Amino acid sequence: SFCTLLAMALTPTPLAVKSPTAALGSPISWTQPTRAESVQLLKRDISALGDVTRVASSLDDQSRALQRHVAENKENERRARRRQVRVLRRFAEASRAAFAELYDAERRAVSAQRVRDFRAHER
């Protein structure tokens, strides 16, 4: 996993190897690693560094993709809000027009009723 690779990469390579006799209860003694051990440790560190580099590159790619998706989502939200505003404006305009029509019709009906009432009163 990424954490294991990172820990391996960040763990310093020991410069000396504990003597196997330390496990038997004798005092701890340190010896320099052999050339072969040093080469193996160096190969392990290089391999771990390569793994960490690949993981970091993958994370960079994922981060860029995520940023792109976030930007696209923001743009889509802006477009949706603009669409909603347009729809609401059209609805408001249609409502005003319908109200004006109803108001005019009511006014004409009231006027016509007054004329009828006046004529009926004259008779």
Single-letter amino acid code for the residue at 122: E
In terms of average pLDDT, the best of 3-12, 22-31, 92-101 is 92-101
In a domain, 111, yes or no: no
- The whole-angstrom separation of Cα 100 and Cα 106 is 10
Domain that holds residue 26: 2-98
In a domain, 59, yes or no: yes
- The whole-angstrom separation of Cα 60 and Cα 58 is 5
Report the domain count for the chain.
1
Residue matched to tokens 């004006």: 100
In a domain, 105, yes or no: no
Mean pLDDT of the residues in the chain = 83
pLDDT digits (tens, 9 = 90+) for 52-83: 888 889 999 999 999 999 999 999 999 999 99
In a domain, 37, yes or no: yes
In a domain, 120, yes or no: no
Is the confidence at residue 7, as pLDDT, over 70?
Answer: no
Give the pLDDT of residue 51. 85
In a domain, 94, yes or no: yes
Is the confidence at residue 10, as pLDDT, over 80?
Answer: no
In a domain, 27, yes or no: yes
Rounded to a whole number of angstroms, the CA Rg of the chain reads 42
Let me know: does 13 contact 41? Beta carbons within 8 Å.
yes
- The whole-angstrom separation of Cα 75 and Cα 69 is 10
